[in-house]
Amino acid sequence: MTTWRQSSNAQASCSGCVAAPARLSGRGSLPLAWAHQPKGAKVIASATALLDDASFRVAPRRQQQLPRAVQHFLNLPSGIPHPEEAVRAVQVHLLARIGFLMRAHQALRQHLAQWRPFRRTPLHVDAAGVVHATAAAAAHHTAKHHANRWADQGLAAERALDFDEAIRCFERAVESEPDSAEYWARLSKLHSDRSFMPNTSVSRQVELQKKAIEIGQKATEADPASAWGLVATCVSRGRLALHSDNRTKVSLARQAQDDVHRALQLEPDNDVAHHLLGRWNYEMASVNAVVRTIIQMIYGTALMAGSYKEAALCFENATRLRPDMVIHRVELGRTYVRLGRLEEAARHLEESLLLDEPDINAVLVRQDAVALLAKIRGNAKPKAEALAVEERGAKDGDDKEA
């Protein structure tokens, strides 16, 4: 059986040159070319007869990527004019494909003009309004991209407890995207958490908490529909109350209470808001009704009653929403200890020791978890010994009766 195959470009003729006609033979090493019938309209019945009667012309290198029909007309010998067929072949095989490519390119450009996140926006557009709108959108995207990069660097610095670098990064983030409530709230949190660093004076702690409250309010102004700012101000007010007089402490407590309720109204699935409500219930559980009544009479502010059961429910919700947060599990374990549910408390505290430490809060509460676990295990040992003694006594009584 006769086999055809293509040769490499090295066997093709040079550009612009046409080789002499050659016979098409079996197993010949042939380049891309076109076989034609030189003897008029003679019909050849078999493939063998076609091969015997056909002549072969090597196509120039620059024409070897063209369709075979086009190569045929380009290599027709002189004296065989086919102008109509040649024009039609060029229109079908060349111009039609070029037109298709041009239409596809135009459609692609129109599609990319609507969504071009990583391209420079063209400034030369017919309508001036379109130019300004497109440029503004591109500038907003670029600013948001830069803000995200600064925020990632800030979170990494916060993990390393490098507050100077973390604050600098989030300051750059809010400069790039001032409408982001999250970045303002994280900047507020950094100033508030900085008060936990060793050798920080009380006056410095008060200054940091006040500044954190101001920044948290900017987060609320940037996006009133977000709970980020309310959560940040609630945390800072609670910490500021620890270093304030009684009247200021009651006022801050009331404001913090309002903040956490508004945050839950805006975002019912905000785990930090549930955590803060649990902290409120935990702290208020130690204040009896008489003290709350006296506070209302003296300072004119009514504080919500709290209970350890409500605190446990809030911490359970926070843990369900974010099971990987150390502070949720530690505070839930602390509340279970208050309720006498030591086994559940120990389980959550042990799980908290396996979680990540993204900030200084996780570092500090993990130390509390270790202390609480030691206390639980210390209490469990005497109870186990008492149960063993009781079981031995019951067994001895049964033996005596027998």
In a domain? residue 97 = no
The reply to whether 312 falls in a domain is yes
Residue 316: the pLDDT is 96
The tally of CA atoms less than 13 A away on the side-chain side of residue 246 is 8
Domain carrying residue 66: 1-74
Residue 85 inside a domain? The answer is: no
As a residue count, the chain comes to 402
213 and 288 together in one domain: yes
Instruction: Mark the ranges of the chain whose per-residue pLDDT is less than 50.
Output: 1-47, 50, 79, 116, 118-125, 130-133, 384, 386-387, 389, 400-402
Q: How far apart are CA 379 and CA 382, in angstroms?
A: 6
Q: Where residue 291 sits, what CATH number does that domain have?
A: 1.25.40.10
Q: Does one domain contain both 317 and 269?
A: yes
Residue 156 lies in a domain: yes
Dump pLDDT digits (tens) for 178-226: 999 999 999 999 999 999 999 999 999 999 999 999 999 999 999 999 9
Q: Say yes or no: 214 and 300 in one domain.
A: yes
Distances 2 to 28, 44, 317 between C-alpha atoms, Å = 9, 17, 79
- Any domain includes 264: yes
Pairing of strands 55-58, 22-23: antiparallel
pTM: 0.61
Single residue among 322, 342, 376 that ends a domain in this structure: 322
In a domain, 107, yes or no: no
Number of domains comprising the chain:
4
Boundary-marking domain end, from 74, 108, 135: 74
Write down the pLDDT at residue 260.
93
Q: Are residues 389 and 331 in the same domain?
A: yes
Phi, psi of 2 (to 5 degrees): -75, 135
Question: What pLDDT, on a 0 to 100 scale, did the predictor assign at position 290?
Answer: 72
Confirm whether 157 is domain-assigned: yes
Same domain, 315 and 329: no
Q: Does 62 share its domain with 132?
A: no
Same domain, 316 and 356: no
Q: Read off the amino acid at residue 260.
A: V
Q: Where does a domain end: 322, 340, 369? A: 322
Domain co-membership, 27 together with 136:
no
100 within domain boundaries: no
Say whether both 317 and 331 belong to one domain: no
Measured distance CA(249)–CA(362) in Å, rounded:
26
User: Per the structure block, which two tokens stand in for 75?
Assistant: 């290599």
